[in-house]
Structure 1
Amino acid sequence: MYYHSEKDFEPSTDSRLAATTRIWSFATGMLALCMIFSPTRNNIAVPIVLGSSAAAGTACVWLSNKKSSNSLQEDRIQEIEQRLNKLETIAGNDDLEMWLKIRHLASKN
C-alpha cells in the first residue's frame, strides 16, 4: 500500500499548468455542448476545430518564453541575499573602525 503525503495533493503553483487545465476544461465543456445541441449528428467540423484550437492554445502556453513565478521568486530571493551580504559587509566595516577608535582612545587614557 502506497502512502500519499500531503505534498502530493498540494495544488501546483505553475501558471502554465493552470492555464492548460482551464483551456482543456473549457474545450471539453464546449465539446459536450456541441454533441448535445448539434443540429446534425454527423457534423464533425466543430469537434475538430475545438480540439485543434485547444491544442494550439496549449502549445502557445507551454512554448512561451515568460519566466514562471517560481523563477521570479528565486530571482527575488537571490537579490535579497545579495543586498543582505552587502549590508553585512558595510556593518562589519563600521564595527571594525569603531572598535579600533575605541581601542585607540582607551590606550591614550
Structure 2
Amino acid sequence: MAKKSQTNLEQYQDVRLSATTRIWVITVAILGVCVPLSVVTRSGAILPLVAIGGAAVGTVAIWR
C-alpha cells in the first residue's frame, strides 16, 4: 500500500513541475513580444513586469 501512495505522489509532483515549466515557457514568449511593444508604446517596464508577476503568482498557486 505504501508503494502505491508513493507512486501517486511522484506523479503529482511531475504534474506540478510540468505545469510550472509550461507557465515559464509561455512567459518567456510573452516577454519576447512585450519588450519591443513596451518600447513602441512607451509604457516602460509595466508590461514585462505584469507578465513576470502573473507567472510568479501562477507558480505559487500550483506549488501550494
User: What are the superposed Cα offsets for residues 20-49 of structure 1, whole Å, 9 maximum, x if unpaired?
Assistant: 000000000000111233323562100110
TM-score, with structure 1 as normaliser? 0.43
Structure 1: tracts of 5 or more residues without a match: 1-11, 64-109
Give the fraction of aligned pairs with identical amino acids, expressed as a percent: 40
| Structure having the higher Rg | 1
Alpha-carbon distance in 1 for matches of 2:57, 2:15: 17
Alpha-carbon distance in 1 for matches of 2:57, 2:36: 24
* Structure richer in helix, relative to its length: 2
Structure number with the bigger relative contact order (C-alpha 8 A, sep ≥ 6) is 2
Alignment of 1:8-47 (within 5 A): 13=11, 14-38=14-38, 39-40=40-41, 43-47=44-48
Q: Which runs of 4+ in 1 moved over 2 A?
A: none
Structure 2: tracts of 5 or more residues without a match: 1-9
CA RMSD of superposed structures (Å): 2.0
1:53 and 2:44 aligned:
no
